[in-house]
Chain A
Amino acid sequence: MSNLPLFPTQEIGSLQKPVWRVKGLTGNASEKDIEELKKWYDTLKLQDRTRHVIKLIEGIKNEKDKEKLVHLKKQLKEESQISALRFLEEAGLDIIYDGEQTRVEMYEDPISDINGFKFLGLVRAFDVMKYRKAACIDEPSLKLPYHLNEFLFLRGKTNQELKVPITGAYTLAEWSYNEHYGKKNLKDLSVFDLFGSEKVDRREMALAIAKNVIRPNIKALAENGAKWVQIDEPAATTYPDEVDLVVETFNESVKGLNVKASIHMCFSDYKVFFPGILEMKNCFQYAWEFANADTTNFGVSNGARVGYKVLDLFKEYDVPGTIGLGVLNVHSDFIEPPELVRDRILYAAKVVGGDRIYVNPDCGLRTRSLDVAFAKLQNMVRGAKLAREVLK
């Protein structure tokens, strides 16, 4: 950590999967997709691997043997991990991962590796964004530490610090239907007893996931060399009166483990998280989204930086730990100029102190094209540099 500069830059979540990977896995990659691959591998200085990847893509297209096909597909997915790692390195980030290239997404992927869940269908998150939602139908337990292979593959492939994202227990519980803990209600309770019953059931489910699933996962990662685990809790402020449960599941998830743990939340009303946040034990970092609600005007005035107003609460409540400062709006193709990033950082530094600030996108850049994501990240790194120069 001591090698990190002031305002270290970090990834925060998923990147879009490259087209050569998506279509390559189904044997449908076109000439154009191969050209896209070449372009990116040139940009990322991975030219020595280009021929190998093309060979994998062609192999998948032509291979008839099922076992060999599985192996080829695994290799292609690993290539997208390498390219994502390199993507973030080349953009200039200090703390990186693989853009979650092996994961379907942050909910479906872990749920697939937990006993006691059954997928039921798609639901909308917003606009045309959707996710596959499951029901908890039995006591949750871990099939296998589901991020371990991914981490073992990445370990040693970069000199940068790795931060492993893992979806938190509260979010997995809140995003799932609760049939296992809720079914008794439909048979036994009168209509007058339904009030509050969901909260009781959700508590049971969330704590079971924290103890039986998340903690063993993090334990396996830590035992194999992971130094930093980011617990993603986008559902954290779904119920303003359940912040205590979010805190409790975080504490349960990391209890007794020797690992740096942080929490990432997004698109929430953060005010409800105070003062409950003070009960979190050993939370190294709170990485939140800010840019989404900010203006794109330059400057460090309150009027320009409306999206960062919530930082006042960190100061007011004297919250310990570092802050992952979202400076890129992940829902827009707008490329934040370095000067805008600089001003967002400087505003935050003014409020909570510069040595506590890490710089990142609001959330994963998965919904943006790789071109847009790369340009945004490059400017984020440039903006952090400009901010450092100002404070020099």
Chain B
Amino acid sequence: MQIEAYLNGILPRSDYALDIGSRWLKGRETKENFHKVLEKETEEVIQLQERLNLDYVFDGQLFWDDFLRQIAQALHLHRENSNADENPVTRQIYTNTFYRKPFIPMRLDNSYGALIDTKFIDKIPKGRRKAILPSPFALVYLSDGIHRKENGEVNNDIFIELLLDAANILNEESQRLEKIHNVSFIQFNEPCMAYAEETKRFWDNIVESLKIATKELKAVTSLHLYNGDVSKFLPELEDLPVQRVGVDVYTTNIRKFPADFEKFLEAGVVNSKNSLIEEPEVIAGYAEQILEKINPKGLALVPNRPLELVPQNIAIKKLENLAKAVHLLRG
């Protein structure tokens, strides 16, 4: 079995870029200069992934202020007389990072055009282009709006409508990425299914939303699940309408996975929550243990969640070791 390796979410900005961003916030630097730094670093992270021979390459999402922001901006998900950059600061559970919680004021429609910036995706060699979007469930569940009652509880009917709306919009965007920008791999990030109380209740709707989101796509599709134990969704996990599922082995009990797992598994074995650098031999050992006990349909080694949680220099070391581990495994 050919074991793959690639990244799966926002990469850290360098200390320099973070400083410039901070200076911009205080009015001591121009936005243009800040963005120039981010552009340069985006090109560098693309080159790094290419140099390390990762199977798929993405743009690092360095311009994304959080994992929903570009979508929230594009779809105008905010309250009246406001904008997506002013939405409430809200904790991303399981981390010390925050996002601006989108507000969905009405049924979602796709009249706003492209959702994400593809300027840098176009610079990645064809055949290895990867794009990352939030899952339909994440986009709706992690937002406020017409689908929530005053006490924050979900209004079932409206929630389902929005979930399917989101799926259609994400499918259109995925098709655009595939057809116009030659993206070969579309990953949906799923940070809340693992802990949301509503996941089981909406399971069939979630499956339906993923079917819609991946409809008519030829690109590889995956759902990367983190922030909790998703072994509780077995065996249904194997039937999700995506080709690959990603899990965080630090928060998911993979002992419960069946032998001969019927899906391509993205094993999140590189810990983006700790600065300890996993040695290539250790990572390769994890892969061998997974192959022996779980024997998935395919295996990719990935970070357990987006690497933005460690400083850039540590993220690079972790990434280099991930690439070395795959090299070891490939002999």
Interface of A toward B, CB cutoff 8 Å: 120-130, 133, 135, 174-175, 177-179, 182-183, 186-187, 190-192, 194-198, 234-235, 237-240, 267-269, 271, 292-293, 302-303, 306, 309, 312, 331-332
Sampled A-B contacts (30; CB under 8 Å): A120-B314, A121-B312, A121-B313, A123-B308, A126-B65, A126-B89, A126-B98, A126-B99, A127-B65, A127-B66, A128-B18, A128-B34, A129-B25, A133-B311, A177-B275, A178-B274, A190-B285, A191-B254, A191-B286, A194-B269, A195-B229, A195-B251, A195-B252, A197-B250, A198-B273, A235-B96, A267-B89, A267-B98, A292-B89, A331-B89
Docked complex Cα distance between A198 and B19 (Å): 30
Taking the closest CB of chain A, its distance from the CB of B128, in whole angstroms, is 27
Q: How far is the CA of A120 from the CA of B12 in the complex (A)?
A: 13
Identify A128's interface contact among B24, B91, B269, B313, CB under 8 A: B24
> Smallest Cβ distance from A358 to chain B, in angstroms?
22
B249–A128 CB distance below 8 A: no
Of A124, A174, A192, which one neighbours B289 at CB under 8 angstroms? Answer: A192
B15 — which chain A residues lie within 8 A by C-beta? 121-122
- Within the complex, the shortest CB–CB distance from A238 to chain B, in Å, comes to 6
Which listed segment binds A: B52-60, B117-125, B162-170, B276-284? Answer: B276-284
| Bound Cα distance from A125 to B92, whole angstroms | 10
Taking CB atoms and an 8 Å cut-off, the chain B residues in 101-120 that contact chain A are 101
Query: B250 contacts which of A183, A187, A194 (Cβ < 8 Å)?
Result: A194
Distance in Å: Cβ of B101 to nearest Cβ of chain A: 8
A238-B94 CB under 8 A given contacts A122-B18, A186-B278: yes
How far, in Å, is B234 (CB) from chain A's closest CB?
14
User: Once the chains bind, are B151 and A309 in contact (CB under 8 Å)?
Assistant: yes
Q: Is the CB of A195 within 8 A of B250?
A: yes
Name the residue among A126, A129, A237 with the largest chain B CB count within 10 angstroms: A126
Chain B's closest residue to A201 (CB) is B274
Q: How far is the CA of A361 from the CA of B147 in the complex (A)?
A: 29
**Chain A neighbourhood of B65, CB < 8 A:** 126-128
Q: Separation in Å of the A171 CB from the closest CB of chain B?
A: 8
Q: Which of A124, A125, A268 contacts B12 (CB 8 A)?
A: A124
What number of A-B contacts does a CB cutoff of 8 Å give?
143
User: Is the pair A182, B88 in contact by a Cβ cutoff of 8 Å?
Assistant: no
The answer, among A174, A186, A234, for a CB contact under 8 Å with B276, is A186
- Chain B interface size, as a band, is 35 or more
Contact residues in A for B203 (Cβ distance below 8 Å): none
A219 to chain B, nearest CB (A): 27
Determine if B282 and A186 form an interchain contact, defined as CB atoms under 8 angstroms apart.
yes
What are the residues of chain B within 8 A of A271 when measuring CB–CB?
152
Shortest CB distance B155–A (Å):
15
Question: Please, what's the 1-or-0 string for B77-93, where 1 marks a CB less than 8 Å from any CB in chain A?
Answer: 00000000110111101
Q: A235-B96, A238-B93 are in contact. Are A192 and B255 (CB under 8 A)?
A: yes
B236 within 8 A of A: no
Asked whether A182 lies within 8 Å of B98 as measured between CB atoms, the reply is no
C-alpha spacing A303/B149, complex, angstroms:
10
Q: Which chain A residue has the least Cβ–Cβ distance from B252? A: A195
Across the interface, A195 reaches (CB within 8 A) one of B93, B98, B253, B286, namely: B253
- A122 and B311 contact, Cβ closer than 8 Å, known pairs A130-B18, A135-B275: yes
| Beta-carbon contact of B249 and A195 below 8 Å | yes
Q: Which of B152, B229, B249, B279 contacts A194 (CB 8 A)?
A: B249
Cross-chain contact A238 with B89 (CB below 8 angstroms): no
A125 cross-chain contacts in B, Cβ below 8 A? 96-98
Which residues from A are CB-within-8-Å of B271? 198
In the bound complex, what is the Cα–Cα distance between A278 and B195 (angstroms)?
23
